[in-house]
């Protein structure tokens, strides 16, 4: 026996109940750190995925709420650290910033990517985001998602296939103008 207090079904039920009962608390905790509702939702979702992956480390079921709150806090702080690193990198490369017109074009491209990604179903979207936008390797993504590397590759490929029509349409529209 692995020493886990959870079986798969029991964990799913307990986690669902915690999210239903304390989801707003977890969100507010992340929001207090991040001051961004979208990033706060992302932090909570990542925290629940990590909690599922590391549930065997929880030895006392009575501490679940506090443990989940700690995982949410850690995820939010990881986002803060990532943002600081990005800002620092941006500061070092500020000479390479685009012109106002270039910045507008970048913003439009970013919006197009976000809109296209929103239409890609989970779990394909997660694989594409983690691999492409976050720069994670197949191995890192598999560890984060708790699945096989081959499954990450499959999801990534299928996600890109679902994105391809969005950008081939955009290119055709650009050339028609």
User: 66-100 pLDDT, tens per residue?
Assistant: 888 888 989 999 998 888 888 777 766 555 555 66
**pLDDT tens for each residue of 56-67:** 777 666 778 888
Domains 1-97 and 98-177 share a fold: no
More confident residue, 117 or 8: 117
Is residue 157 very low, low, confident or very high in pLDDT (cuts 50, 70, 90)? very high
| Angstrom distance (rounded) from CA 170 to CA 172 | 5
**pTM of the predicted protein model:** 0.47
pLDDT score of 158? 94
Say how far apart CA 102 and CA 152 lie, in whole Å: 34
Q: Which CATH architecture has domain 98-177?
A: Orthogonal Bundle (1.10)
Confidence (pLDDT) at 1: 37
Q: Quickly state the pLDDT bin for 45 (edges 50, 70, 90).
A: very high
Minimum mean pLDDT range among 103-112, 122-131, 136-145: 103-112
Please report, for the chain, the start and end positions of each structural domain, with discontinuous segments joined by +: 1-97, 98-177
- Tell the CATH topology of 1-97: Rna Polymerase Sigma Factor; Chain: A (1.10.1740)
């Amino acid at each position: 026996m692995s020493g886990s207090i959870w079986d798969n079904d029991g964990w799913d039920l307990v986690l669902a109940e915690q999210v239903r009962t304390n989801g707003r608390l977890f969100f507010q905790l992340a929001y207090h750190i991040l001051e961004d509702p979208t990033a706060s939702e992302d932090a909570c979702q990542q925290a629940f995925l990590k909690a599922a992956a590391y549930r065997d480390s929880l030895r006392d079921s009575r501490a679940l709420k506090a443990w989940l709150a700690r995982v949410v806090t850690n995820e939010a702080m990881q986002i803060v650290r990532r943002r600081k690193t990005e800002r620092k990198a941006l500061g070092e490369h500020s000479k390479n910033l685009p012109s106002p017109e270039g910045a507008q074009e970048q913003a439009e491209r970013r919006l197009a990517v976000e809109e296209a990604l929103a239409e890609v179903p989970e779990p394909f979207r997660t694989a594409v985001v983690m691999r492409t936008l976050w720069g994670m390797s197949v191995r890192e993504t598999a560890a984060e998602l708790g699945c096989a590397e081959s499954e990450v590759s499959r999801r990534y490929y299928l996600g890109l296939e679902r994105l391809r029509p969005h950008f081939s349409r955009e290119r055709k529209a650009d050339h028609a103008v």
